[in-house]
Structure 1
Amino acid sequence: MTAALVIIPARLAATRLPRKPLADICGKPMIVRVLEQARNADIGPVAVACDDKDIFEAVQDHGGKAVMTRADHASGSDRIHEAAGLIDPDGKHDVILNVQGDVPLIAPEAIRAAFAPLAIADVDLGTIMTEFTNTAFRDDPNFVKAVTTPNGHGHHRALYFTRAVAPHGDGPYYHHIGIYAYRRAALAKFVQLPPSPLEQREKLEQLRALEAGMRIDASVIDSAPMDVNTPEDLERARAAYQTN
């Protein structure tokens, strides 16, 4: 496992932060900041999969690669699947890594960490998680918990994802971060599956993969990257870039 095609899905519509991908962060649109961090991970070519010409042009204006995808995709997974077919129709890349478009502060090593579990042949999807240090976040259903067990290779095998506080008893609790490295065949299978019962109940798309018998393993990283969803988040991201 030495390379992946990294795709960043971006859609213009956002209720809490209008035109979020184009929000300025110290002279560059947020989507370009994410693109730069993905490039710094140095695991393969990087492209933005977008649904709007303004995002497309912003990425190209800053020297990045972008592809236009359908506007009616139900999820980022569907969008990256279409984009992978457009960018790499011959299937030269066996792994597609999905990086969220609203994490301008994500560390390159966190992106590489999502790719690492695929060194195990039986793993269909790699992802990342970090240990909760704040009980308020742990108890908040907006922070998704990963229920896992060590896989013997330095990562963890995911058994379940939930908005509840789990598992019961003494021990660490892990916050799941929604960045995924898909084997190409696993992504193709995933987007063909109908929404699953637990996925619909928990409102967590990754449960569809587990319910279908797919294996997800997670690397542990030191801290969660801040996602930008509100004007307040955006100001914090700007302040972080100003101090770098």
Structure 2
Amino acid sequence: MKIIAMIPARYAASRFPGKLMQDLGGKSVIRRTYEATVATHLFDDVFVVTDSDIIFNEISSNGGKAIMSQKEHECGSDRIAEAVKGMDIDVVINVQGDEPFTEKESLEKLIEVFKEDTTKKVDLASLMVHITDTDEINNPNTVKVIVDHNNFALYFSRSPIPYPRDPNAGVTYYKHKGVYAFRKQAILDFYRLPMLPLEASEKIECIRYLEYGKRIKMVETTIQGVEIDTPEDLERAKKLWK
């Protein structure tokens, strides 16, 4: 089984433009993420795929592998699909460019899903983290996921799901970490299928897979990491890096 990692990287992020080129301990955020992914030694290859000359040059001039997108893309999955279309691979893992603390343990769990899935019933695998903080549960920047008893995703939302009508029901809330593992065909299907209303409303790309009947296996991890979405997140990351 040939497994690669792709790190989609836009320069013009809506909430924090240029965040991937911000300094983190003497190197850019995107370079830290790339090097952390390579350092796991889990992949046959690792690429940054970008629409930015700045990011492309940042990776390639420092000995990394970068691919320039040929088209404009709405989301990271589309960017990856274009890049892998002609590649001889089985599984591609999407590592978010704004997660410089990417670590081996969680990625290994995703890869194991496909090694165990001999009947190929799983189209995607992704990570989730148990959360208890009320502010985080209600924060629309935190994507929540609910799963069935086999940990297949039922739905993703920026709203708190499930709604706590009975606060004593013993519900566990999960935050979706935006690290995905795809079978190659699943991400190619995503690329050609149009966005539907649920995805358009929530602005959560993995909802498209559910709307078209794909199966997403969720894997629980205890490792939160730091996603750099705001300048405040960057300051937290700098303290953690020290």
- TM-score > 0.5 by shorter chain: yes
How far residue 133 of structure 1 moved from its aligned partner, in angstroms, is 2.4
Q: Report what 1:162 is aligned to.
A: 157
RMSD (Å), alpha carbons: 1.7
The separation in 1 between residues aligned to 2:133 and 2:179, in whole angstroms, is 21
SS in structure 2 at match of 1:150: coil
How far residue 61 of structure 1 moved from its aligned partner, in angstroms, is 2.3
| 1:73-222 superposed matches below 5 A | 73-85=73-85, 89=86, 91-118=87-114, 119-120=116-117, 121-151=120-150, 156-167=151-162, 168=164, 169-222=169-222
How far residue 123 of structure 1 moved from its aligned partner, in angstroms, is 0.4
AA aligned opposite 2:99: V
Rate the CA distance shift 1:112–1:143 in 2: closer, same or farther, 3 A.
same
- How many residues were matched structurally? 233
The separation in 1 between residues aligned to 2:55 and 2:141, in whole angstroms, is 28
Q: Which runs of 5+ in 2 are unaligned?
A: none
How far residue 218 of structure 1 moved from its aligned partner, in angstroms, is 0.9
SS in structure 2 at match of 1:6: strand
TM-score scaled to structure 2, two decimals? Answer: 0.90
Rate the CA distance shift 1:149–1:40 in 2: closer, same or farther, 3 A.
farther
Rate the CA distance shift 1:14–1:201 in 2: closer, same or farther, 3 A.
closer
> Which shifted more, 157-166 or 122-131?
157-166
The separation in 2 between residues aligned to 1:223 and 1:79, in whole angstroms, is 26
How far residue 106 of structure 1 moved from its aligned partner, in angstroms, is 2.3
Q: Which runs of 5+ in 1 are unaligned?
A: none
The separation in 1 between residues aligned to 2:82 and 2:12, in whole angstroms, is 19
The separation in 2 between residues aligned to 1:232 and 1:165, in whole angstroms, is 23
The separation in 2 between residues aligned to 1:204 and 1:52, in whole angstroms, is 23
The separation in 1 between residues aligned to 2:214 and 2:89, in whole angstroms, is 20
SS in structure 1 at match of 2:39: helix
TM-score scaled to structure 1, two decimals? Answer: 0.89
How far residue 32 of structure 1 moved from its aligned partner, in angstroms, is 0.9
Rate the CA distance shift 1:17–1:159 in 2: closer, same or farther, 3 A.
closer
AA aligned opposite 1:22: M
Q: Work out whether residues 99 and 111 of structure 1, in 8 Å CA contact, stay in contact via their aligned partners in 2.
A: no
The separation in 2 between residues aligned to 1:148 and 1:18, in whole angstroms, is 33
How far residue 3 of structure 1 moved from its aligned partner, in angstroms, is 4.3
How far residue 71 of structure 1 moved from its aligned partner, in angstroms, is 5.4
Rate the CA distance shift 1:166–1:52 in 2: closer, same or farther, 3 A.
closer
The separation in 1 between residues aligned to 2:37 and 2:227, in whole angstroms, is 15
Rate the CA distance shift 1:99–1:16 in 2: closer, same or farther, 3 A.
same
